Chains A and B, each alone.
Chain A
Amino acid sequence: MNLTTFYLAVAGLILAPLLGGLAAGVDRVVTARLQSRMGPPLLQPFYDVGKLMSKVIAPASQWQGLFVRWALVASLASDVLLAAGGDVLMCFFIQAASACFVTLGAFSGSSPYSKLGAQRELFQMLSYEPVFLVCVLCMAKASGGFDAYSMMGASAQPLLFKMPLIIPGLVFVLLIKMRKSPFDLSACHHGHQELVRGVYTDYAGRDFALLEIAHWADVVVILWICSFLWATGPLQMLVVALIALFVVILIDNISARLTWRHMVKVAAPVALLLATVNLLWLYLE
């Protein structure tokens, strides 16, 4: 590991959560505008986290604090790995570990809403993980390597033209990871959640703030991996990430929540099938 890689890793550690928070702010403003509202200030997510940090409340179980901190470490580690040009597949597995810690923390609480949310979170992981895995495999096959740098600097021709069929899969993964309709099953930030706050119900105060930061880091990783589709330059990658963010916000605002059965039985198999067809096509080419 040389010094440049170290600096990039540190930049990833610090910048990724900040960018994630900014994306959350953009999300809330754009959502409000789509609903003919004015919306909160752009920095509202940072105020929310600051507020949660300063709250005094006992945790719902003695394990929760530990699981939250491990989830945060895992999410930040996936950012660092991607920024340092590490293995994207490894980054993907660390993300899964982060989601597992969140689920474990929710299971260790006492609220039935929290436990039901945790079960739904597991169903979500069951749905998006294979799809995301095949999408990453497609990118690796087309660019000739699993590390982030080879995917980012693959060729003059964007990867998108070689893998149009993984787009539905990536949107599916993004919708689930960003907790947006129609797949905001385990938790959502709107007032119309039937599980109160789902997997987040038992987390409060500082633990909840750390979890929010972990979520920002997760979102940045997924958007970053989506931007590999048009990695001809940093600006193009940023534009792709912003387009992906806008598509997710738009779908969130025009669709209602589906059931987990629909997600597991219909949406996930279709997305997985399309991505797999694309992968086979890349191998046969």
Chain B
Amino acid sequence: MSFLKKSQIKSPWLMHFDCGSCNGCDIETLACLTPVYDVERFGIINVGNPRHADVLIVTGTVNPRNAVVLKNLYDQMPTPKLVIAVGACGCTGGVFREAPNVLGGVDKVIPVDVYVPGCPAKPEAIMDAVVTGLGKLKGILEGSK
């Protein structure tokens, strides 16, 4: 594997988008950055700019209003990119899935690579999802020329 392809696995910069979550999963996502979990040891940096991001972490349910924002952020990210849906709401809409304004999970708007269940999802599970997503990306990169 060439250095450039290897770098893509070793340097995932992630952007976190709160799609109307209760903040439970957001707190757990940000907990990954603390010294206890220290995701920077995998080369992960939390960025606020979709143009710099490689991994999009989405928490919360999707409704018609934030679906536009979510799609916009996804479109601004450079390829190749990964999307991780975090928490019960991000995966399926959770307990809110029958609500009139809720479209459902993140996959109703953009393609999702890894789902992280839990209410809220544990930081370990979120980190595992990033590593799983990178494994998937590695498979794609090895398959390409």
Contact of A50 among B3, B42, B79 (CB under 8 A): B3
Q: Smallest Cβ distance from A277 to chain B, in angstroms?
A: 42
Q: Does A55 sit within 8 A of B, measured CB to CB?
A: yes
Contact of B10 among A47, A56, A200, A204 (CB under 8 A): A47
Task: Write out the residue numbers on chain B whose beta carbons fall within 8 Å of the beta carbon of A41.
Answer: 10, 43
B40 nearest CB neighbor, chain A only = A40
Flag the segment in B46-54, B85-93, B107-115, B125-133 that touches A: B46-54
Task: Write out the residue numbers on chain B whose beta carbons fall within 8 Å of the beta carbon of A4.
Answer: none
Range, interface on chain A: 20 to 34
Q: Does A193 sit within 8 A of B, measured CB to CB?
A: yes
Q: Does A189 sit within 8 A of B, measured CB to CB?
A: yes
Known: A56-B78, A204-B78. A39 touches B51 (CB 8 A): no
Q: Does B7 sit within 8 A of A, measured CB to CB?
A: yes
Q: Smallest Cβ distance from B4 to chain A, in angstroms?
A: 4
Complex-state Cα separation, A54 to B6, whole angstroms:
10
Contact of B33 among A47, A49, A191 (CB under 8 A): A191
Most buried by A among B7, B13, B35, B54: B7
Flag if A189 contacts B35 (CB, 8 Å). Answer: no
Contact of A57 among B6, B13, B46, B78 (CB under 8 A): B78
Flag if B48 contacts A36 (CB, 8 Å). Answer: no
A60 nearest CB neighbor, chain B only = B51
Given contacts A32-B41, A38-B38, A40-B42, 11 further A-B contacts (CB under 8 A): A37-B41, A39-B38, A41-B43, A47-B6, A48-B13, A50-B4, A51-B4, A55-B54, A57-B79, A60-B51, A191-B45
Chain A residues at the B interface, C-beta cutoff of 8 Å:
28, 32, 35-41, 44, 46-51, 53-57, 60, 189, 191, 193, 196-197, 200-205, 208
